[in-house]
Amino acid sequence: MNRESFGKDFQWGIATAAFQIEGACNEDGKGASIWDEFTALPGRIYQNQHARTACDFYHQYQQDIALVKELSIPNFRFSLAWSRILPEGIGVVNEAGIDYYNKVIDHCLSQGLEPWVTLYHWDLPAALSKKGGWTNRQIVEWFKGYVEICVRAFGDRVKHWMILNEPTVFTGAGYFLGIHAPGQIGLGNFLPAVHHAALCQAEGARIVKFHCPDSEVGTTISCTLLEPVRKVERHINATRRADALTNRLFIEPALGLGYPIADLKPLRKLEKWIQPGDEQNLIYDFDFIGIQNYTREIIKHSLTVPYIFAKPVAADRRNVATTLMNWEVYPDALYQILTLFRKRYRLKKIIVTENGAAFRDKVKGEEIADSERIQYLNDNLKSCLRAKYEGVPLEGYFVWTLTDNFEWAEGYRPTFGLVHVDFRSQQRLIKNSGYWYKSFLEHRKNLS
């Protein structure tokens, strides 16, 4: 099994996100984002780390794009920072932000790389958060205005768009659990955020397609394989509820199936925020769905967790191999998620828009040894190929991520990159996994 086994039109890439790599948090007219403010709060981020400089991609984008080219990766996924383009989220456009992303896009194309753009990867302008952010229905209009600006500025060259990145995560962690920006808590924040994000997912896609009818428009869904701790009714039902929340919450409204209320009763309370015509406006026939999978979770019934009465059994308590995120190393999860989505839904095309792992890399002079990551990627690609051969409409795979970066609440501790970054000197070193991916993409390495 090698690259050619996937077919000549299979899309290979690498994925990044603006807040995690750009830095330059207040340069050239950029406004503050909710993550700029959240990271300034003590105790929110591992060791109170921040992303004010991060990987300095803002200044070093040419160097990092050169690394993508050196690794023979043909597709580069990156996101646009809303507050770099619209410092207040709405109103006056920051032309320096437009110029910056024009330079990034143009440089990708000049190096023979295809830009894949994510419109929203969690960094809401702080000015909009002060108006309620995703809990305020006006965000649908705010978002539409932002998308319109982006498509008019970049749509002549960008042919692949993703509307939202993992909406279940940014609404759940940011508006229910409060562990991500903006740090809000409770069902009364979560449910309106969910509904407004789902509306934006479809409305944003319609705007892109209207202006760029020949482009491919997708959105990305965080998916985790969920299995009951034991096959008894209470754990099976808990897993079903967790699955409705984790894997079904945003894709099913887009497909015209509505919210998965039958399996997660608290979603009935969404009716408070649903207005006439919303059910139809939630629907969009995406050109592709981005699947983002890293692991599986074992679920048990729990009366201590409100609303879903389910919680995962931590991987380090299950005597299994784990990553630095305490996620189980379980490559079959990706195969099972891909086949599950094929069985459940009629999808035109699936792209794995994120898959990767954080391990403790071994620095040996100029060599970064990360054999565990190589094994992880190798095994996950085998899962992809197996799924594709069995009829899953899988047409692409993107590794998370190019460089070690700011991993949200985890700070810089977990290292996912194919490229090591010394954050004091900003020196880059390609890891062995990067060279492995390069070799595979150049048809010089078979999957074992």
| 365 confidence band (pLDDT: 50, 70, 90) | confident
Residue 372 is a catalytic residue? no
Q: Which CATH architecture has domain 3-441?
A: Alpha-Beta Barrel (3.20)
Q: Where are the beta strands (DSSP E) in 282-361?
A: 288-292, 296-301, 310-313, 350-354
Q: Supply the pLDDT for residue 4.
A: 95
pLDDT, one tens digit per residue, over 391-401 is 999 999 999 99
Q: Supply the pLDDT for residue 229.
A: 98
Q: Supply the pLDDT for residue 73.
A: 98
The answer, yes or no, to whether residue 319 has pLDDT greater than 80, is yes
Comparing CA positions, the residue from 218, 216, 67, 81 lying closest to residue 150 is 81
Percent of the chain residues topping a pLDDT of 90: 98
Cα 190 off chain centre by? 19
For residues 43 and 21, what is the distance between their CA atoms, to the nearest angstrom? 21
For residues 157 and 162, what is the distance between their CA atoms, to the nearest angstrom? 15
- Mean of pLDDT over the chain: 98
pLDDT, one tens digit per residue, over 209-236 is 999 999 999 999 999 999 999 999 999 9
| 443 confidence band (pLDDT: 50, 70, 90) | confident
> Where do the structural domains in the chain lie, given as residue ranges?
3-441
For residues 334 and 251, what is the distance between their CA atoms, to the nearest angstrom? 17
Cβ atoms of 222 and 166 within 8 Å: the answer is yes
pLDDT, one tens digit per residue, over 85-115 is 999 999 999 999 999 999 999 999 999 999 9
The answer, yes or no, to whether residue 256 has pLDDT greater than 80, is yes
The answer, yes or no, to whether residue 447 has pLDDT greater than 80, is no
| 446 confidence band (pLDDT: 50, 70, 90) | confident
The answer, yes or no, to whether residue 445 has pLDDT greater than 90, is no
Give the mean model confidence (pLDDT) for residues 142-154.
Answer: 98
**From the candidates 166, 372, 395, 407, which is the catalytic residue?**
166
pLDDT, one tens digit per residue, over 35-48 is 999 999 999 999 99
Q: Supply the pLDDT for residue 143.
A: 99
Give the mean model confidence (pLDDT) for residues 252-264.
Answer: 98
User: Bigger pLDDT: 365 or 18?
Assistant: 18
- Beta pairing class for 350-354 and 419-422: unpaired
Give the mean model confidence (pLDDT) for residues 18-37.
Answer: 98
Give the mean model confidence (pLDDT) for residues 3-12.
Answer: 97
The answer, yes or no, to whether residue 251 has pLDDT greater than 80, is yes
Give the mean model confidence (pLDDT) for residues 59-82.
Answer: 98
Question: pTM of the prediction?
Answer: 0.98
Q: Supply the pLDDT for residue 364.
A: 86
Helices of type H across 155-305: 167-175, 187-211, 233-246, 251-254, 278-281
Q: Supply the pLDDT for residue 249.
A: 98
Give the mean model confidence (pLDDT) for residues 13-22.
Answer: 99
Residue 354 is a catalytic residue? yes
Give the mean model confidence (pLDDT) for residues 286-311.
Answer: 98
Reduce the DSSP state of residue 146 to 3 states and report it.
helix
The answer, yes or no, to whether residue 238 has pLDDT greater than 80, is yes
- Rounded-to-10 torsion of CA 248, 390, 442, 416: 30
**From the candidates 354, 372, 395, 407, which is the catalytic residue?**
354
For residues 88 and 126, what is the distance between their CA atoms, to the nearest angstrom? 8
Give the mean model confidence (pLDDT) for residues 25-34.
Answer: 98
